[in-house]
Amino acid sequence: MNDCLFCKIAAGEIPSTKVYEDEYVYAFNDIDPKAPTHILFIPKQHIQSAAHIDGDNSFIVSKIFEAISKVAKDLGLDDGFRVVSNVGESAGQTVPHLHFHVLSGRDMTWPPG
């Protein structure tokens, strides 16, 4: 049995606020937003993290970034946005299913904490 939270969200088994969906990609609002716009983009297929991207699944990452670009245009994120993927616990990954945070709507610092 697959107990992965984001697999269940992508399958519609756990509710989420959908922002975008296609054959490979699902995007939804983060439940605890860190910026006025905070969307999570995930592959429908389970991939644990960016450290688990390989020649067999990397095409899905290009699909995710096509979706990010489209949604950013549709939502008018013209002042900019940040794309973040935490890999592993020390980097802040709490859900072990690859996801890209898209944050926008406020000034951001660099480097991140």
Binding site for Zn ion (CB under 5 A): 4, 6-7, 46, 97
Least Å from the CB of residue 45 to Zn ion = 8
Catalytic residues: 99
Task: Using alpha carbons only, give the angle 76, 9, 5 rounded to the nearest 5 degrees.
Answer: 120
Between 90 and 94, CB nearer to ligand AMP: 94
- Beta-ladder partners of 100: 41
Return the residue of 1, 79, 90, 94 that touches ligand AMP, per CB under 6 A.
Answer: 94
By CB under 6 A, tell whether 32 contacts ligand AMP: yes
Using the Cα atoms of residue 65, residue 10, residue 17 and residue 23 in order, give the sign of their dihedral: positive
Stretch that binds ligand AMP, among 18-26, 28-36, 50-58, 102-110 (CB under 6 A): 28-36
3-state SS, residue 64: helix
Distances 61 to 17, 83, 85 between C-alpha atoms, Å: 21, 13, 12
Stretch that binds ligand AMP, among 18-26, 57-65, 69-77, 92-100 (CB under 6 A): 92-100
